[in-house]
Amino acid sequence: MTHKFQIQHEVEEFSLNDFRNALANPQFHATLISRLPGTKVVIERSELVNDQYHMQRALNLAANIPKLAEKFLQDALRIKRVELWNLGNMTAQFKFILNMPAEFRCSGQLVEKNGKVYFQQDWEVDVRIPLIHGTLARHAEAEIRRFNAIETEAFQATLREFCA
C-alpha cells in the first residue's frame, strides 16, 4: 500500500528566476549536496540537457535510528536519489531507491504568487514489508519531513550565496 502526503514551503526572498538560474548550475547542486547530512556521497550524474537538469547521487542516509541498529545496518540505509528538474515549467521529479524493499517518490513544482515562491511537493512512500509496512511508511514520512526541513534551509543558504 502506498502512503501519500504533501509538503509545501514558502520562500519570500527569491524569485522564480533566481531558482531557475541556480538550478541550471551544476556548481549550485554540488554546493547544496555538500551542506546536507549523509556520508559516502557519490554524484553519479549532474547534467543540464536543454531545459532539464538531471542529478543522480548515492549516499548513506543520516537517519534517526538507534545506535545499536546502526551497527547492524551499516550501509543498509544507502539510497540512490534521482532528480529531474524541468526548468521550463519549474517542475521536478524525485525518486529515492533504497537497498531494502521500499521506494520514495516525489513530484514537485515551484510557483510564484504575490511575490513569494512556493514549493509544493506530493510524496508517495511505498514500503513492501508485510505486516509492518504502514508503521514503517509513517516513520519514513516523519524522516522525510525532518530531512526536507534541513534541505530547505540548506537550499536557501545556497541560493543566498549564488544570488549574491
163 vs 29: CA distance, rounded Å: 14
For the chain, what is the domain count? 1
Domain limits for position 16: 2-163
pTM: 0.87
3 vs 127: CA distance, rounded Å: 8
Residue at 31: amino acid letter: T
Pairing of strands 116-127, 2-11: antiparallel
Half-sphere exposure of residue 3: CA atoms within 13 angstroms, side-chain side: 19
What pLDDT was estimated at residue 1? 75
Taking only the tens of pLDDT, the chain with its 164 residues reads 799 999 999 987 899 999 999 999 999 999 999 999 888 899 999 999 999 999 999 998 776 665 655 565 566 678 999 999 999 999 999 999 988 888 999 999 999 988 889 999 999 999 888 888 888 889 889 989 999 999 999 999 999 999 87
CATH code of residue 28? 3.30.530.20
Half-sphere exposure of residue 58: CA atoms within 13 angstroms, side-chain side: 10
